[in-house]
Amino acid sequence: MSKKKFFFAAWLLLLSGTASAQNDDSVTIRKISNEIMAKGTAYENLRFLCKKVGPRLSGSPQAQKAVEATFQMLKEAGADTVYLQPCMVPHWIRGEKEQGYIQMANGTKYPLKLCALGNSEGTGKKGLNASIIEVRNFEELDRLGAAVIKGKVVFFNFPMNPIHINSFWAYRESGAYRTRGPARAAKYGAIEVMVRSLASNLDDFPHTGTTLYNDSFPKIPAVAISTNDAEWLSRQLMRKMVTTVYLRTTCTMLPDVPSFNVVGEIRGSEIPDEIITVGGHLDSWDLAEGAQDDGAGCVQSIEVIRAYKATGLKPKRTIRAVMFMNEENGGRGGDKYLELAKEKKEKHIFALESDAGGFTPRGFGLDMPEEKRQKVMSWKNLFYPYGVYDLSGGGGGSDIGPLKQIGAALAGLNPDTQRYFDLHHAATDTFEAVSKRELHLGAVNMTALIYLVDKYGL
């Protein structure tokens, strides 16, 4: 046989072997899909988490109830071992229902739909009354400076940019005004901040979320107002119809309290010291049930464990489902998970996070070296039947992100984003807004990716 014919024959043999392996994988993934779509428990687990536990802000009694509930869910899913990882978490309390109104030039009062930002300081029982200055961006804030800002309430009116088809890009842009706006305004003597809610559409629901203070400046109160109110207020300020704003919040930050990550794992049958993590964050904001953010990611991760056990799959590597605590206003759970992994000198090869809602899955964001990303890309045809087509760069998540320090390749489930910011951090994030089929289809794709990484490595 000539050298040319030999290499051609070897190439055909390789293609044949690859096709055969992909066919076997396709059969296994179909088995996983049939199990989850017909018998999955993620939706009912989410119902329990939302309706029996409810909002799960770190440090709250409900957060502890969620720890206990998901511990039991992991045991019922068939995890070989279930255990808790202690961590200290912030304990912020919203306090009494927030109050606020705009005093109009004609003597009437316009009540605002508002909520305090997470980790923010309160105004005190009497509240604050001051004039308002509308600011469109940080550049304008810097130009105005203390001469204009001092003693006023700064109203950051920065809408989410509608031209971004992936609404998370718009969130990253406008989110800076919620996280850093109060500290930036305090630098120039502002006494309080109002931010336009981070919502894609116009509605009457204020969206909360954490803010970050700078110790160099006063920690001033901060609230979000609904997008409808933001539009209305901007028009009234332009018409010079507004005299002052009154705001009253009684939120406060208490000393840190103990809490837990919840971990359930299936021990690997061949390479147990190599660890694959899949997870979501167990805490949620206190305005609603935290169904999409991030009850969905938690119950999907538990479903990965259940699907493995129900289908009889035996992983080569150890698979862990982790319910991370305190993603929303501190990130302590993810930090503790990394700390313990370092102490135990664990080898984490891959971590997958679901923290973008339980909507229809579209793809995975991949944060890993190019050669590993190309390996994942070689599996893309296996995901097409389940609606996933986008295996793009970038991804991971807040809780698994620290694992990059010890060499883990990261990925994040990317569901459709169009409706997520109608619900995110708002009173609308309830169980009723979740589709069972969409939620379970996300779990199918997560389990399929875990299966392929476990089988072939990265």
Q: Which residues are designated catalytic?
A: 327
**What sign does the dihedral 324-327-331-334 (CA atoms) show?**
positive
219: alpha, beta or left? (left if phi > 0; alpha if psi -120 to 50) = beta
Cα separation values, 379 from 2, 131, 277, 312, 386, Å: 33, 58, 19, 22, 13
Structure tokens at 402: 């620290």
Distance (Å, whole) CA 325 – CA 59 = 10
Kindly give, in sequence order, each residue whose CB lies less than 8 Å from that of residue 128, ignoring residues fewer than 6 positions away. Answer: 153, 191, 192, 221, 246, 247, 248
Please choose, from the candidates 122, 146, 132, 130, the residue with its C-alpha nearest in 3D space to the C-alpha of residue 223: 122
